[in-house]
Amino acid sequence: MVLLLISTAAIATAQPKEHHLANVRQLTFGGDNAEAYFSPDGTKLSFQSNNKSWGHSCDQIHMMDIARAAGDSSYRAPRISTGKGRTTCSYFMPNNSDILYASTHEADAACPALPAPRTDRKYLWQVLPSYDIYVADARGIVKLKLTDRNGYDAEATLSPKGDLIVFTSDRSGDLELWTMTIDGTDLHQITNELGYDGGAFFSPDGTKLVYRASRPRTEEAQRDYKELLAQGLVAPTDMEIFTCNVDGSNVQQITKLGKANWAPFYHPSSRKIIFSSNHASQRGYDFQLYMINLDGTGLEQISSESIFNAFPMFSPDGKHLVWSSNRNNNGTRDTNVFMADWVD
């Protein structure tokens, strides 16, 4: 059970269309804060932040006490990553204390350089070959290095069973899903079709995976994808949501909406998936949360406030939703972490 201490400063009003979201609380204030994921006991969040007032030049991993953050807008969640390089994609380990995350800190203490501006202004993600996956304790001390190679290894999450980690890697020449045990051994490639496969999460029973994927079909699209990948880049503007068994069998495409459908997570019932999408946007950049049945029917919009809502995750008890949003940012570009009571 999550203990919620709510201050007036931390309350954000849910919009009329957001009838699944009640008692919305803002948990971070300033900078870009994203990928906030619950601890197994539901009392903490791991998340990444580039909040300059915290001394960051690029994303670092923090561990948040939810009750403290909900009750105090000045609360500064402790940093778990080294403070060097750039980090991404943190997730709690089974002991409710250690945190799994990817980092470039061993390659360079400085933040990696951003890609040069393009004349076509194409929006791109970096898939840096300097990322490796680590496990750190609550004090930020690295206890284990799970990957050790020159290549992209990141986007790791843990099975509810506590036995397997799924992550994205280019070790086979393409960006595929892989699994490994929690000590970094017994690696298995899960996906094997050309295109980016990433952002995977396990189903509540640990038997299935949900993930985002691009599937370039034309010769031109495949050529563009391969050329960008050779530069450590991915264009995340054409992705759909897929599921498969944890061994890679029974691949199912869930969405066929067009544009960018990403950040999926299973509903506690295991019968639906919540995700972020801009498919209804006229301009391209208007990401809202949606929910859909596993057979691709019953699409329902969940969020409506602000032009960015993503990274949804249900609490282990299914009673709360955490996500990142541009709401309440007073006209700035800040993205903050919000949590709400979930109403089915």
- 198-201: which pairs have CB atoms within 8 A and are 24 or more residues apart? 198/155, 198/168, 199/155, 199/168, 199/262, 199/263, 199/264, 200/155, 200/157, 200/166, 200/167, 200/168, 201/157, 201/166, 201/264, 201/265, 201/266, 201/313
Closest CA to 187 of 177, 196, 195, 197: 177
How many domains are there within the chain?
A: 1
- Evaluate whether residue 177 is within a structural domain: yes
Specify the pLDDT at position 1: 37
- Evaluate whether residue 144 is within a structural domain: yes
The rounded distance, in Å, linking the Cα atoms of 281 and 56 is 32
pLDDT beneath 70, residues of the chain: 1-16, 284
Q: Which residue has the tokens 């990928």?
A: 35
What is this structure's pTM? 0.93
- Evaluate whether residue 1 is within a structural domain: no
- Evaluate whether residue 3 is within a structural domain: no
Specify the pLDDT at position 17: 84
Residue 75 structural domain: 8-342
Strand order in the sheet with 188-189: 153-158, 164-169, 176-181, 188-189
- Evaluate whether residue 283 is within a structural domain: yes
Q: What CATH number is associated with residue 221? A: 2.120.10.30
Closest CA to 81 of 108, 55, 64, 99: 99
- Evaluate whether residue 202 is within a structural domain: yes
- Evaluate whether residue 76 is within a structural domain: yes
Specify the pLDDT at position 16: 53
